[in-house]
Copies of this chain bind each other. A is one copy, B any other.
Amino acid sequence: MKLTPEQLKEFDALGYLVFPDCFSEEEIAVLRSEAEAIYASNRKEVWRETSGAPRTAFAAHTYNEAFAILGSHPRLIEPLEQFFGEPVYMHQFKINAKAAFEGEVWQWHQDYGTWKRDDGMPEPRAMNISVFLDEVMPINGPLMFIPRSHQQGTLTAGHDKATTSYPLWTLDKATVTKLVDDGGIVAPTGKPGTVLMFHGNLAHASPPNITPYPRKIVYLTLCAVSNHITKFNRPEWIAHRDFTPIVPRADDALLQYARKARHAA
């Protein structure tokens, strides 16, 4: 997948892009059922809400074939190779559950704030590109972005270890209010298969999910290889230390896998 000049311009201005219908339902269905199986397992990579519901599963591309394919899918890898002008490696891979009724808040933060402080990543030359596994609606805990906030650089943040089970460098209320005064808030929604890419300094959050509708999203954090991390404070399955450039697979790799899986079932 190649970004157009218009898309690059929009990204520069707003800090994010939305790609509807990037993956087909046939491709997504297999990921959705594999994600449920991972959440039901007892792996250390599966973090839970205080209620016990799944919150996020790390590093599934290292132990699950369907997510391994997604982790080197050309529709996700190529736009970021293009944007950074060099090969990328996988800094982090997670499947966020935002479980029905149980999914808790992700506080306001910039991703690069954590990658810099915790992992010693030199520059914000890494980015999330995410894939909706369920329909994301206004009501089931969508991501909220503050457009244009990526232009502010890396802002002062506090290390919040208390609000949820996952420690995060978060922005305070005065900072968020100022950013929102300037940029507003958008909450991109869409069918399963929608893809979002957003700048490492784009301020974002997501509210709890109080509905019966689950809202699973896969996040690939792709980092320019020359910008690899320099501190190894977090477990390697949270902040990877394998800086090998990802070689994109064939565009139909996930589709072929889904068909094989269906025939085997």
Q: Which residues of A contact B (CB under 8 A)?
A: 100-101, 105, 107-108, 138-139, 141, 144, 173, 176-177, 180-181, 185, 187, 205, 207-213
Q: In the complex the two chains form, is A212's CB within 8 Å of B138's CB? A: no
**Shortest distance in angstroms between A148's beta carbon and chain B's nearest beta carbon?**
15
Given A101-B176, A180-B211, A207-B209: 17 more A-B contacts, CB < 8 Å? A100-B173, A101-B173, A105-B208, A105-B210, A107-B210, A138-B138, A138-B139, A138-B187, A139-B144, A139-B207, A141-B207, A144-B210, A176-B212, A177-B212, A180-B213, A207-B207, A208-B208
Which chain B residue lies CB-closest to A106? Answer: B210
Bound CA span A141–B185, Å:
14
- B contact residues around A173 at 8 Å (CB): 100-101, 212
In the assembly, how many copies of this chain are there?
2
**Shortest distance in angstroms between A123's beta carbon and chain B's nearest beta carbon?**
29
Bound CA span A144–B208, Å:
14
Bound CA span A48–B176, Å:
23
Q: In the complex the two chains form, is A139's CB within 8 Å of B101's CB? A: no
Bound CA span A177–B100, Å:
10
- B contact residues around A212 at 8 Å (CB): 173, 176-177, 180-181
- B contact residues around A187 at 8 Å (CB): 138-139
- B contact residues around A177 at 8 Å (CB): 100, 212
- B contact residues around A209 at 8 Å (CB): 207
Which chain B residue lies CB-closest to A206? Answer: B210
A-B contact pairs, 21 of them (CB 8 A): A100-B177, A105-B208, A105-B210, A107-B210, A108-B210, A138-B138, A138-B187, A139-B185, A139-B187, A139-B207, A141-B207, A144-B210, A144-B211, A173-B212, A177-B212, A180-B212, A181-B212, A185-B211, A207-B208, A207-B209, A207-B210
Bound CA span A100–B108, Å:
13
Bound CA span A213–B141, Å:
17
Bound CA span A207–B205, Å:
14
Most buried by B among A100, A107, A139, A213: A139
**Shortest distance in angstroms between A107's beta carbon and chain B's nearest beta carbon?**
8
Bound CA span A240–B185, Å:
40
Which chain B residue lies CB-closest to A209? Answer: B207
- B contact residues around A101 at 8 Å (CB): 173, 176
**Shortest distance in angstroms between A175's beta carbon and chain B's nearest beta carbon?**
10
Which chain B residue lies CB-closest to A172? Answer: B101
- B contact residues around A107 at 8 Å (CB): 210
- B contact residues around A185 at 8 Å (CB): 139, 211
